[in-house]
Structure 1
């Protein structure tokens, strides 16, 4: 055994102690510091208000929204810093920089949409392009193909059976993950949807809707995606209040389920020419915007980005700084005096994730450009492909 002088022996002891202290500091201090594992494909998440207590170390407790978001966001690395003093006989203090966990509300837009927005090669516009091409309708097929080249949100509603819904969500998520992109979904199945107008329908009652929404949340749990929650649902309270009694509470429960699954949700907030900012802010608060990422504006509408941003910033300030997204799918020519298949409308700015100083997360194509609003201005039934209208949208698209 090599003989060590007292001075050398003290230095070795100090060095070992420092190494042990650094190793402990670098290890997770709590169970929630570890990444959240995706739920089993067949599992149904517990209600957002429940809490799980267990003494079985193999069973993970129910995650809160803040913990669940870790399933698809990356936390900063931890680095221990210590400068041992060879002349000192005490172990130096090891400091670990505090790293605030990212949450649905605070994660940067570039984290939530890491890899960019997903372009679905089998989306509605792509399918229309294939069908029209096979019929020799070259110009209409070309317009549909132009739209299909951009990321467009995937709408989910009662037109899918449960089995079809699961297949649609799982397939879209898997395809997006394969290319490292982020899909955007739209839930559109609330009872008395569209107040009986062109897109009438929805779940039979609130209980059925929340069960359906829970299925959506369970399939998205552990995956990177965002959801636009129920276009027009809050804004239409002004138009048909008797049909929308208690709607805020229903949306709040739906948002809580999405949050518990770690899914950033944007509650639809109408547009700049519909409900005043303060009134919409009150509805959003009642609808659980504090559990959501934020809200969406201009869905399926035509108002310019400048108008929508000004409106959204007022709403955001009134609800504590919530983030928002704007639908630019058909606002390239601004408002044209009518909402349903508006003549003269054009495609707006292409979808993109935003990183500016406002609360704007992204410009999205939430409405599918080319899908009919209903049987108005020469259009087919709501949701069906309106080939000549798609040609118009492409011809009138915004430049730049």
Structure 2
């Protein structure tokens, strides 16, 4: 009997040890019922404090739709910010979309310049980000533009950027077993697919779910999907694996207007967040109505700030 009891105990311990490995394959879509609508998105807050026809239009077209919440130093304690947000989504059985946007040297000094003060601060920040999600279901977009902008960085800093992105991928793989994390892969006309595949492989995309295409841009879903497929094909031919991708459709309803990207006129809301549609998911990653910077049709609105005129023009496509 003692031998049998020890055998059963050993089997039970093996089952417990195996649980984390099984959880690492957790599918957040199977653990939730639809995407989470951020009640505190800039457009929702504005509409809630400015009653009237404009607010009603914004509520109906934008604030009722699921989109991403972006996280940087402005969120304060990142552990609390991420835990609170993912917990709120988990309580209502919805899948939250989060964007990690705090890489040092962000945006190469452009409109969204900023990021963590140094590599050590970033490692602490992204480690706490992933840990705060823990076992809760989530979708995370890792560092928009960080890989595509590699060429605008001083040559001496590029390897550090790659190392930090690889560290980020490792953190989500290790600490957030029910999260699908996607490394940003630029857009369809920015970096050649084969080059982007090399960069993605260098930062450990193999360890996470896949890549994100068209974040904060206006390329059509078809063009973005074709680019995502080309990058995945390059990963296959060069490194022996493929990866799924998601496409940001928040502002691509009219497609691009040349290469103008900073608050251009004539852009329109695209397909709301959904599963499938030419990619693994179509997601509203960029927050509709939030400015790209002091440029285009919002010359006085800082990056990340909401402007009702931008929102209305995305609704009407003008």
Would you say same fold, with TM above 0.5?
Answer: yes
1:69 aligns with 2:28: no
Shift of 1:173: 1.4
The 2-side partners of 1:140 and 1:179 are apart by 25
Among 94, 106, 112, the alignment partner of 1:181 is 94
Matches of 1:209 and 1:258, distance apart in 2:
14
Q: Tell me which residue corresponds to 2:189.
A: 273
How far has the Cα of 1:242 moved from its partner? 3.7
What is residue 49 of structure 2 aligned with on the other side?
131
Q: Is the 8 A contact 1:132 1:141 kept in 2?
A: no
Unaligned runs of 5+ in 1: 1-22, 37-65, 74-106
Pick from 322, 330, 339 the counterpart of residue 261 of structure 2. 339
| 2:16 alignment partner, one of 31, 35, 38 | 31
Q: Distance in 2 between matches of 1:283 and 1:212?
A: 22
Deviation at 1:372, TM superposition (A): 0.3
Report the secondary structure of 2:255's partner residue.
coil
Q: Which runs of 5+ in 2 are unaligned?
A: 1-7, 236-240
Aligned length: 299
What is the 5 A alignment of 1:6-155? 30-34=15-19, 36=20, 66-69=21-24, 73=26, 107=27, 110-111=29-30, 114-133=32-51, 138-140=53-55, 142-155=57-70
Deviations 1:249-301 (A, max 9, x none): 11001110111012321000000010000000000001110111110000000
Q: Report the CA distance between 1:222 and its aligned residue.
A: 1.1
Q: Name the structure where helix makes up a greater proportion of residues.
A: 2
Residue 176 of structure 2 corresponds to residue 258 of structure 1: no
Q: 2:162 aligns with which of 243, 248, 252?
A: 248
The residue that corresponds to 1:53 in the other structure is none
CA distance in 2, matches of 1:243, 1:372: 32
Tell me the secondary structure at the aligned position of residue 149 of structure 2: helix
User: Residue 130 of structure 2: which of 198, 217, 225 is its match?
Assistant: 217
Match of 2:199 in 1: 283
- Pairwise CA distance, 1:124: 2.1
| CA distance in structure 1 between the partners assigned to 2:29 and 2:86 by the alignment | 18
1:371 aligns with 2:284: no
CA distance in 1, matches of 2:44, 2:126: 27
Partner of residue 97, structure 1: none
The normalised TM-score by structure 2 is 0.87
Mean Cα displacement is larger for which, 117-126 or 234-243? 234-243
Alpha carbons 1:330, 1:347 under 8 Å: kept: yes
CA root-mean-square deviation: 2.3
Give the Cα–Cα distance (whole angstroms) in 1 for the partners of residues 307 and 157 of structure 2: 30
How high is the TM-score relative to the length of structure 1? 0.70
Corresponding residue for 2:238? Answer: none
Select between 234-243 and 196-205 the one with higher mean Cα deviation.
234-243
In the other structure, the counterpart of 1:167 is 80
Instruction: Give 3-state SS (helix, strand or coil) of 1:245's partner.
Output: helix
